[in-house]
Amino acid sequence: MKKIAVLDDYQRVALSFAEWSRLDGRAEITVFHDHIGEFEPLVARLQDFDAVCLMRERTPFPAALFERLPNLKLLITTGMANASVDAAAAARHGIVFCGTGGSGHATAELTISLILSLARGLPAEMASLAAGGWQVGVGRELAGARLGILGLGRLGSRLAEYGKVFGMDVVAWSQNLTPEAAAQKGARHVSKEELFSTSDYISIHLKLSDRTVGLVGSPEFALMKRDACLVNTSRGPIVDQDALIAALKEGRIGGAALDVYDEEPLPAGHPLRAAPNLIMTPHIGYVSRQTYRVFYGQTLENIEAWLDGKPVRVIGA
């Protein structure tokens, strides 16, 4: 039988979101709930497996890892893109690299919930009530506030729709966005400088690339209004985390909410954990029942197709 590893099942739910019993007698499934970030221990864990199933961008797969796994023949990622996998190296080693579909709603829904939490100061109010207190702040309404969206692709466009429902003034910017494209998606195109200087809430929905690493840093925080808030549910390195911590500690912005980080899982002693006026969630933007059913269901389908010699959802094909 083929040996198949399912990695980074943090919530211990992978086996409940697909009918893995369909592989009985054909493959042996091993699910790992912990995360291994060190190279040699990861090699030791995976060296006997024929196939590895990844949760997108949790465990990196650089070229050096492929070189150490001669038994590996199939690599499956959730989603149809995974920036932490060297796809060219997979091809060079003759490894089938394939992916799955996903949900177009979960991350945008989390984003609007984070914006609402910042607007109404929910963490402070909940903490006060839990400690025996009562009201401690005065919240804001979203109606009439300006929502600035960096990146108006699939998720950014959906957030624009949500912002409109709440009566927000939606503006957007990205390197390639045109006024016409922005208008088609319910937003008004502005310059990057205008977006940062006039928005009450700024949300990032850009792909991580050489152009976007550090795109939001000290100059951008200096432009923001003192009560404006930043939300990042995209990728951690897009925001300069040191600059963000400084802006929060010095009270130069009103607050921030993060679902993504430079290093994941976030180390216990990371400075972000002590930053004021910061809401943090553990990269749960895509973590929903509906998304996981697609992720693990189509992962299983890819394995079955591979075992049967049929086409799989090859990335880049």
| Tens digit of each residue's pLDDT, the chain (317 residues) | 999 999 999 999 999 999 999 999 999 999 999 999 999 999 999 999 999 999 988 999 999 999 999 999 999 999 998 989 999 999 999 999 999 998 889 999 999 999 999 999 999 999 999 999 999 999 999 999 999 999 999 999 999 999 999 999 999 999 999 999 999 999 999 999 999 999 999 999 999 999 999 999 999 999 999 999 999 999 999 999 999 999 999 999 999 999 999 999 999 999 999 999 999 999 999 999 999 999 999 999 999 999 999 999 999 75
pLDDT of residue 103: 82
- CATH no., domain 2-103+289-308: 3.40.50.720
CA distance 248 to 278: 8
Structure-block tokens of residue 151: 């990146």
User: What pLDDT is attached to residue 317?
Assistant: 55
pTM for the predicted model, two decimal places? 0.94
Q: Where in the chain is the domain with CATH 3.40.50.720?
A: 2-103+289-308, 106-280
Q: How far is CA 204 from CA 14, 15, 51, 73, 231, in A?
A: 29, 33, 34, 36, 6
Kindly compute the dihedral angle of the four CA atoms of residues 140, 258, 237, 35, in this order, to the nearest 10 degrees. -170
Give the residues across from 172 on adjacent strands: 149, 189
What is the distance between the alpha carbons of residues 260 and 38, in angstroms, rounded to a whole number? 20
DSSP summary character for residue 300? H
Q: In a 3-state reduction of DSSP, which class is residue 263?
A: coil
Given a contact cutoff of 8 angstroms between Cβ atoms, the answer to whether 108 and 166 are in contact is no
What residues are annotated to the active site?
235, 264, 283
Q: How many CB atoms lie within 10 A of CB 264?
A: 15
Superfamily of domain 106-280: NAD(P)-binding Rossmann-like Domain (3.40.50.720)
Beta-bridge mates of residue 53:
6, 76
